[in-house]
Amino acid sequence: MSEETSGSVEPKSLDIKGILAALPHRYPMLLVDRVVSLVPDGEIHAVKAVSFNEGFFQGHFPGRPIMPGVLQIEALAQAAGILAIETLGLAGTGKLVYFMAIEDAKFRAPVEPGVLLNLEAGFVQKRARVCKFWGKASVDGKVTCEVNFTAMIADS
């Protein structure tokens, strides 16, 4: 996509170094592997490579491993956190993005090992300290989770 005269912004991507610069999360809680595209003030598309080696698969569920829904929501929140940090220019400032509310969470399909979980999130409302987001996770175009959530930006 190229920048148009209408003032649209060229999307950017982030590798793991950019993700680690934006988020304080580290293994085993870092749930975003790559940012495919990020449009400041708009939306983010990130991915999580879901591997059988993840610790939660040992107990959820033996014989039928499924990624817990709350971890799908956490992955979406981390993607939204990257969007907020990049949009507000807060990378490296020590600011953190904290959950305040989770609303309208719906789980549509199980997420099994060996897939790429697509994470899409965008702003519903943006203020200096509190942002509202929508989020949608999917595998191969099939929605697995949808959620709306609110986050607060605060000092670490």
Domains of the chain: 12-155 (3.10.129.10)
| Confidence (pLDDT) at 92 | 86
Tokens of 70: 């709350």
Asked whether the beta carbons of 103 and 149 are under 8 A apart, the reply is yes
The Cα 14–Cα 37 span in angstroms is 8
Helix ranges restricted to H, the chain? 16-22, 69-88
Which residues are CB-contacts of 115 (< 8 A; sequence separation ≥ 6)? 50, 139, 140
pTM: 0.93
Going from the first residue of the chain to its last (156 residues), give the mean pLDDT of each consecutive group of 10, the final group possibly shorter.
56 96 94 98 98 93 95 98 95 91 98 98 94 98 98 92
Per DSSP, 4 falls in state -
The Cα 41–Cα 125 span in angstroms is 10
- Show which residues are catalytic: 60
| Confidence (pLDDT) at 7 | 61
